[in-house]
Structure 1
Amino acid sequence: MSSFLSFVSKTSDGAVDRDVVEEASSCLDRFTEAFNSLDLAGMDAQLHFPHVMLSESETLLWDAPDQHPSDFFQRLQSTGWASTHYESKAPVLVSQNKVHFLVTYTRRSNTGEELSRHINLWIVVKKNGIWGISLRSY
């Protein structure tokens, strides 16, 4: 039990380090750039594993890269999707090695029409000097 108490007792002074937020935010930008380039490997390169996704009460855990279905982008394109754009990336909890973002993004058609809007919590963590997305909640 002491390891759990040590884990949850870590505190921060509450100061927001803008450089940390920018570094973590850049990871999100690289992820979406790869997403818009139809680059699954590039997307995986911006994730930390194990990688957790929460949707409603369901939890999906990926232990390693290459978990997207091979027809992922074909399915997405069948909806009219052509690109994804951030509308906002608001840091809501910041420490030196972790940033929780409230991310708002839109999926758009090739004419720029908004097809859908999503507001999610994404957690970006710095491990071994590398920023990666550890959790996405949909």
Structure 2
Amino acid sequence: MTGFASFVTPEASAGAAVSDAIAEASACLDRFTERFNACDTAGMDGELHFPHLMLSGADRLEWQASGHHPAGFFEQLMASGWQRTRYQSKEAVLASADKVHFVVSYTREDEAGTVLSTHRNLWIATRVDGRWGISLRSY
């Protein structure tokens, strides 16, 4: 197949390859959140693919390269009492050997572990040139 047909009809993947992809993509999300909790925007960028796309409602934000996290983001988050983000679940809902769609549920918590907010998002991780990275986050 060529053109559009090959784009929308990917080749079937073997079960073990898909299982490995889910584990590797999930580890990428874990590393991203570990860096998020460390307030390390450069480390977070290291777990993204660029261009990186974020969707919020009908609004679309695209970062062409690293270094675009808003100045003061973590200061504002900490002012709300935030100390950490914790996954409640990461469910792979669509997967192939090179792409995994996750429904990610997480909480933002204060120092005592009190939940400040709960979120449920779609994140898509892809393997590009042998490296897993988050390509899209939908909020």
The 1:18/1:80 distance shift into structure 2, 3 A limit, reads: same
One-letter code aligned to 1:47: L
Match of 1:27 in 2: 28
Gaps of 5+ in 2: none
Match of 1:39 in 2: 40
Aligned residues with identical type, % of pairs: 53
Residues 28, 134 of structure 2: 8 Å contact kept: yes
Q: Secondary structure at the match of 2:108?
A: strand
Q: Secondary structure at the match of 1:59?
A: strand
Match of 1:66 in 2: 67
Match of 1:56 in 2: 57
Query: Is 1:90–2:78 an aligned residue pair?
Result: no
TM-score with structure 2 length normalisation?
0.93
One-letter code aligned to 2:32: F
Match of 1:9 in 2: 9
Runs of 4+ displaced beyond 6 Å:
none
State how far apart, in whole Å, the 1-side matches of 2:85 and 2:50 are: 23
Q: Secondary structure at the match of 1:65?
A: coil
Residues 49, 135 of structure 2: 8 Å contact kept: yes
State how far apart, in whole Å, the 1-side matches of 2:115 and 2:91 are: 21
Match of 1:135 in 2: 136
* 1:9 shift after superposition: 2.0
Q: Count the aligned residue pairs.
A: 137
* 1:84 shift after superposition: 0.1
Residues 13, 97 of structure 2: 8 Å contact kept: no
State how far apart, in whole Å, the 1-side matches of 2:123 and 2:29 are: 9
Gaps of 5+ in 1: none
One-letter code aligned to 2:96: S
State how far apart, in whole Å, the 2-side matches of 1:21 and 1:40 are: 24
* 1:11 shift after superposition: 3.9
The 1:14/1:92 distance shift into structure 2, 3 A limit, reads: farther
